A and B are shown apart, each in its own frame.
Chain A
Amino acid sequence: MITLIMKKNYKSRYFIDKQVQRLKFLLILIFLFIVFLPFYLSTCLLYAEISADTKASDSYDISAKSKKEKVSYYISKGNEYLMQGEYSNAIECYNKAKQLKRKDHKIHLLLGEAYRLADMKDESIQAYNESLRQGSEDIRIYLGLGNIYTLKYLYEESKRYYQKALEINKNNITALRGLAEIYEHISRYEDAFLLYEKIYSVDSSHEMKLKIVFLNILLGKYDNAEKYPENTSQFKILSGYINLKKNPKYAISEFASTEDNILKVIAYIEAKDMINAKKYLEILKNQSENTLSKKLAVALYENIK
């Protein structure tokens, strides 16, 4: 009997405790709601006011302008959006300008640029072509078309446009780079190399250097490749590869400070150091990123086992 009463008391106390806890939680919520609601509402109002102000001033600005002024307004607004990376807004503005003035190659060029940046390839090609049809000879059209056709894997067209850009300015770096990349894609390494060398004379960046070294290796000109020493990971991979062909032991020291990659494993195997080869093979196998080195390590591990 006593134990039954105790059990009952225990149950009712537990029930009360739980209710109190719930009440406390509810009170906290109400408190937070009361405190933050005005802030939230005032922020909403402020934003609404700002956007209403902007819209109102915009519509006032537009309605008060002449057709010519409207066109330049939409163009400058579009340019502003383009600079900010808001491509869809830029496209909207340029299209409004286009509706007001259909025969203006500059608007079509800008539209082409905005579509290109928004990755709308076909629309961009159409706009650029319209600009060309209307008599524009702006180099940006050829550069833009070259870029888009490369992204569409249509290298012949791309090459044609980059060459046209070079007819306008034979030293245009974007066109030279675009053309060099195409040659690289279609394994015309000698042609790509000559262009990268030309670019390197004005832009001796790390990237250009890497391209030159890489192409020298692909062309089998290891001695030329070694003329451009650098201390970065990718350069070490390349110099490691050169040493792999000459002396695997040196290759190992080159690869020591790079990201783990399959060439490191190959260097150990060729230096007959199977313990380290297996060690790095396992490291690569367990990598989280699905890199080419990982895939090759998995395949090689099966063979070595």
Chain B
Amino acid sequence: MPQDEALNRKNIKVLLLAACCLLFLFCSPGKIYSNNDNLIRELLWKDFLFLNKTRPKIAVVLGGGGARGFSHIGVLKALQENNIPIDIIVGTSAGALIGGLYASGMDITKIEELGKDVGWNEISDLSMFRMLTLITAESLLSNNKLEKYLAKHIGKKRFDELEIPFACIACDIKTGERIIFKDGEAGFAMMVSATIPGVFKPVEYRHRLLIDGGIVDNLPVDIARILGADYIIAVYPKADFSLIDIKSILMTLYQVINIQGSFLIAEQLNNADFAIIPDVKDVGSIDLNRSKECIESGLVSTRSIINNIKDKILEKYINLIIKKP
């Protein structure tokens, strides 16, 4: 029967293909090497962690980006679950909020829960009427609620009381100066760093008028270096601008800030030892309702490159791991 013949021929082909696949699976040097790589990576990583006091300091720099900054939660979670030590945290805007909470010692799952539940109502006095009058209003949204929100979660902790050394950035809107906060009350500094221009009222502080640090420096890698970091992991949740739908004046303004910000971070990214860019697609700066999506993107982006991070750190410090004669 021709049909039987065809079937037999097909079966032989399938068997041959299966045999080749099995041969490839069991004998390919790629598999042997990658397995050995996994063993060696984890063994050396264990030794790296055992360096204790002599271990190089790893800093995580968390960039701004409004709602996109929720991806920092996913990044921190992935780093923590893979035993990548975080010795210093520096942040701007949303990066300052998430980074500050983490530096205060708050559990990452708790931060994740907060991130999933947060909305404009929790951090501002936004209402439908406010929304309508936002552009013409004399006073913008008050950040009292954000300050209270932060005080509720980290209390009145000062920078030197935090579990991980932390710094954040703000901008003096009168002079355009970059202001670095690393002393005083952490919650207040975090709130100032996230004072989104055009939404929140600028904060008066020691004869200065302060707003979101992202305006002058959206990824302060150099500050981490000043704080004593040996290895810097920069995190910048970059949006795909072409996907964002610009329908309002506010969206237009944010798009302008986004574009300018991406030029500003280029040099800072180059100065970092490793860059994590969570794929947040078209999430806009004010899309707080998409926090879950952003957390997931940070988590997935970091988990998928975790071996690269470990490899790069090991490459840089392999000489420290060896007990030299």
Contact = CB atoms under 8 A, between A and B. Distances in A.
Interface of A: 46, 49-51, 53-54, 57, 84-85, 152-155, 185-187, 214, 217-218, 233-234, 237-238, 241, 259, 261-263, 266, 269-270, 272, 274, 289, 291-293, 295-296, 298-300, 303
Contacts of B300: 152-154
A50 B8 CA distance: 12
Contact of A218 (B10, B42, B303, B311): B42
A263 B33 CA distance: 14
Contacts, number: 102
Given A54-B6, A152-B300, A218-B46, A295 B315 contact: yes
Interface size class on chain B is 35 or more
Contacts of B303: 153, 155, 185
Interface in B24-67: 29-30, 32-33, 35-37, 39-44, 46
B250 interface: no
Given A54-B3, A85-B14, A269-B325, A300 B318 contact: yes
A133 B198 CA distance: 46
A301 B82 CA distance: 28
A270 B43 contact: no
Given A85-B17, A186-B81, A299-B315, A214 B37 contact: no
A269 B36 contact: no
A105 B246 CA distance: 43
Given A234-B35, A299-B315, A49 B325 contact: no
A233 B318 contact: no
Given A187-B82, A291-B36, A291-B37, A270 B323 contact: yes
Nearest to B17: A85
21 contacts: A50-B3, A50-B6, A85-B14, A153-B299, A153-B303, A155-B303, A185-B81, A187-B81, A214-B39, A217-B43, A217-B46, A218-B46, A233-B32, A259-B36, A263-B40, A270-B323, A289-B29, A292-B40, A292-B41, A299-B316, A303-B319
A266 B134 CA distance: 64
Contacts of B209: none
B322 A269 contact: yes
Interface in B281-325: 296, 299-300, 303-304, 311, 314-316, 318-319, 321-325
B40 A237 contact: yes
Nearest to A86: B14
Contacts of B32: 233, 259
